[in-house]
Amino acid sequence: MSAPSRNQKLLAWVDEVAQMTRPDRIEWCNGSPDELDRMFDLMVDEGLATMLNPSKRPGCYLFRSDPSDVARVENRTYIACRNREDAGPSNNWADPAELKATMRELYDGCMVGRTMYVIPFTMGPLGSDISRIGVELTDSPYVVANMHIMTRVGNGVIKLLDDQADFIPCLHSVGKPLAAGASDEGTWPCAPLEDKFISHFPEERLIWSYGSGYGGNALLGKKCLALRIASVAARDEGWLAEHMLILKITCPEGKHRYVAAAFPSACGKTNLAMLIPTLPGWTVETIGDDIAWMRFDEEGYLHAINPETGFFGVAPGTSQESNPNAMTSIQRNTIFTNVALTEDQDIWWEGIGYDPPGELIDWQGRVWHDGSREPAAHPNARFTAPATQCPALAPEWRDPRGVRISAILFGGRRPSTVPLVHEAFDWNHGVFMGSSVGSEVTAAALDLQAGTVRRDPMAMLPFCGYHMGDYFRHWIETGARQDPAKLPKIFYVNWFRKDASGRWLWPGYGENSRVLAWIFRRCEGKAAARETAIGYMPDAAGIEAPAGVSDADLQELLTVDKAGWLREVASIREHYATFGERLPAELQQQLDALEQRLLQL
Ligand code: OXD
Ligand code: MN
């Protein structure tokens, strides 16, 4: 097919990559439904995909990955900038020229026997000032199909590129060339772990990924472009690229507000983004579940867009009870990866809310019976579903101007110490809260002492494309340029409190609407709060307790545990030490001031 673009930079780059990788053919993607069907047909024919039961899950397909290719590979993820210090202590640094030389050897002939797809896409609505154009070159039809769902692919982008708009080049290969006439024959193509590279060249705004087909490593618009590269662009251009969901909340009187929220992985971000309130009269609608790009408008208000068009969610644990809107979203036109297959060609996973309906085929293609020791679905099994299938999607989710953010929430899994909700005194105090976010780990989960907090500042540790100390400075400076009265309020929430016997103190899920309601009223200036050592907090009367939460429970959820917080201060001090001299003095001052306030209690 002849190239449908007149953009010289794009044509030259496609040519250069084709010469290096030597695909059998090149195909330009137009984003059409026919193209998507063709990708699925191709993969079904090659034994890589199973079409699910069309009367139960129309338009849905199941994929099983190689057991070595089931998640993001942080130890194979690189930030290649000129100075090692600029990558900071939380990233793997590589010298750009050396990394390119290593990867060029791997890319040499890596697409032999395959088609190279050219995927023009935008993150964010076509033509919005905040949006970015990317072009992904890949030899994976699985990536093409997922990009169709997760981004805006197609001719509209080609047209913009014809007008010489710039784009972010994203190169991807599964790293498995095929001998003449061979096919994958049902085996998920990827390279061994030591050959996988997920590389970012932030100074050039360039992404090179090799050897993995897994979403976070291969759908380059998502974590690579919309977070790691965009975070650097945002720093340079004065905006924020964040690992945040965006939701809309409407109160019984009909007024609405928008909230952005950052939580480390496995804290129920998708569930919160699609929450169904138990509090009568309130509604929550979804704008996005993973990434927010935010900018201050001319009037000084923060606006956010969701740059994606789909949900790439964790399947296990998703059920009618935990997230009915997600269950409806995945009813049709969804890609399932590494879930279990039922006898009637439907999907099943641990925590789906009902027993396995008979014998299953597990995520590795083996027969599985109830009671087997290994899980039937991989714990990181995923669904890729179009956002438009979410019944709670707010109509303005695609507004190119974005939505005005009234509140920013930070949170993590903290069984002790951190109360249900507290509000920052001001922007810098809120940045301090975000910088100290983390989740407690169990000894079984990681080789760490139980009770240790694994810090994941603003849930960006794996996704910030530069030094985290500079990232905190960027947040502080961004706030300092604005009228404080117009800045969003910042809150720290914790749905995961337990009492001394290990009993959950708070039921979570839809009941979290009770906390959102307090936050909403705070933004309106209508809810009372008391000033404490750690921030503003509601009295027990400020939160309507759900069934099963006693007055004593609520009291415990809303007290400041002085001893626990002094331990927290010491732990944050250790965390801060890892950022060295680039930690902004403002954050050190926030920590010292918190300690002083606690000591006075
Ligand atoms: C994700 C993650 O996959 O945060 O969204 O790990
Ligand atoms: Mn995420």
Over residues 387-443, the pLDDT tens digits come to 999 999 999 999 999 999 999 999 999 999 999 999 999 999 999 999 999 998 765
DSSP 14-34: HHHHHHHH--SEEEE----HH
Give just the sign of the alpha carbon dihedral 409, 415, 421, 424. Answer: negative
What pLDDT band is residue 449 in, cutting at 50, 70 and 90?
low
Delimit the domains of the chain by residue range: 8-47+76-237, 242-309+395-599, 310-389
Residue 486, sorted as left (phi over 0), alpha (psi -120 to 50) or beta, turns out to be alpha
Task: Note the pLDDT of residue 1.
Answer: 60
Q: Looking at the predicted structure, is the pLDDT value of residue 72 above 50?
A: yes
CA–CA distance, 179 with 183 (Å, rounded to integer) = 8
> Atom 5 of ligand 1 has which residue's CA nearest to it?
290
Which atom of ligand 1 lies at the shortest distance from residue 265's CA?
4
Task: Note the pLDDT of residue 446.
Answer: 43
Angle between helices 8-21 and 96-107 (to 10 degrees): 60
Question: What 3-state class would DSSP assign to 340?
Answer: strand
What average pLDDT does range 30-59 have in this prediction? 97
CA–CA distance, 205 with 550 (Å, rounded to integer) = 53
Which residue from 224, 263, 290 has its CB within 8 A of the most atoms of ligand 1, so it is best to mutate? 290
Which atom of ligand 1 lies at the shortest distance from residue 216's CA?
3
Q: Give the number of whichever ligand sits closest to the CA of residue 291.
A: 2
* Dihedral in degrees, nearest 10, Cα atoms 380, 381, 383, 384: 70
Q: What would the pLDDT profile of 303-313 be if each residue is shown by its tens digit?
A: 999 999 999 99
Q: Pick the closest to residue 352 from 339, 364, 361 (CA basis).
A: 339
Looking at 464-577, list the stretches that DSSP marks H as alpha helix, in order from N- to C-terminal side.
468-480, 513-523, 551-557, 562-577
Q: What is the mean pLDDT of the chain?
A: 96
Q: What would the pLDDT profile of 495-552 be if each residue is shown by its tens digit?
A: 999 999 999 999 999 999 999 999 999 999 999 999 999 999 999 899 999 999 999 9
Q: How far is the CA of 440 from the centre of ligand 2 (A)?
A: 18
Domain 310-389: CATH superfamily is: Phosphoenolpyruvate Carboxykinase, domain 2 (2.170.8.10)
Q: Give the number of whichever ligand sits closest to the CA of residue 72.
A: 1
What pLDDT band is residue 265 in, cutting at 50, 70 and 90?
confident
Q: What would the pLDDT profile of 269-298 be if each residue is shown by its tens digit?
A: 999 999 999 999 999 999 999 999 999 999
Q: Looking at the predicted structure, is the pLDDT value of residue 574 above 80?
A: yes
Which atom of ligand 1 lies at the shortest distance from residue 290's CA?
5
Which residue from 265, 269, 382 has its CB within 8 A of the most atoms of ligand 1, so it is best to mutate? 265
What is this structure's pTM?
A: 0.97
> Is 267 considered catalytic here?
yes
What average pLDDT does range 443-463 have in this prediction? 77
Which atom of ligand 1 lies at the shortest distance from residue 264's CA?
4
In terms of residues, how long is the chain? 601
Distance of CA 365 to the CA centre of its chain: 28
* CATH topology (fold) of 8-47+76-237: Phosphoenolpyruvate Carboxykinase; domain 1 (3.40.449)
Q: How far is the CA of 465 from the centre of ligand 1 (A)?
A: 16
What average pLDDT does range 572-587 have in this prediction? 97
What average pLDDT does range 101-128 have in this prediction? 96
Task: Note the pLDDT of residue 205.
Answer: 98
Amino acid at 518: W
Q: How far is the CA of 141 from the centre of ligand 2 (A)?
A: 23
What pLDDT band is residue 2 in, cutting at 50, 70 and 90?
confident
Q: Which residues line ligand 1 (CB under 6 A)?
A: 216, 265, 290
CATH architecture of 242-309+395-599: Alpha-Beta Complex (3.90)
Distance of CA 491 to the CA centre of its chain: 20
* Catalytic one of 81, 110, 267, 390: 267
Q: How far is the CA of 172 from the centre of ligand 2 (A)?
A: 20
Q: Parallel, antiparallel, or unpaired: how do β-strands 489-493 and 403-411 relate?
A: parallel
What average pLDDT does range 20-26 have in this prediction? 98
CA–CA distance, 69 with 400 (Å, rounded to integer) = 35
Q: How far is the CA of 307 from the centre of ligand 2 (A)?
A: 13
Q: What would the pLDDT profile of 158-201 be if each residue is shown by its tens digit?
A: 999 988 789 999 999 999 999 988 999 999 999 999 999 999 99
* Dihedral in degrees, nearest 10, Cα atoms 65, 464, 488, 323: 10
What pLDDT band is residue 380 in, cutting at 50, 70 and 90?
very high
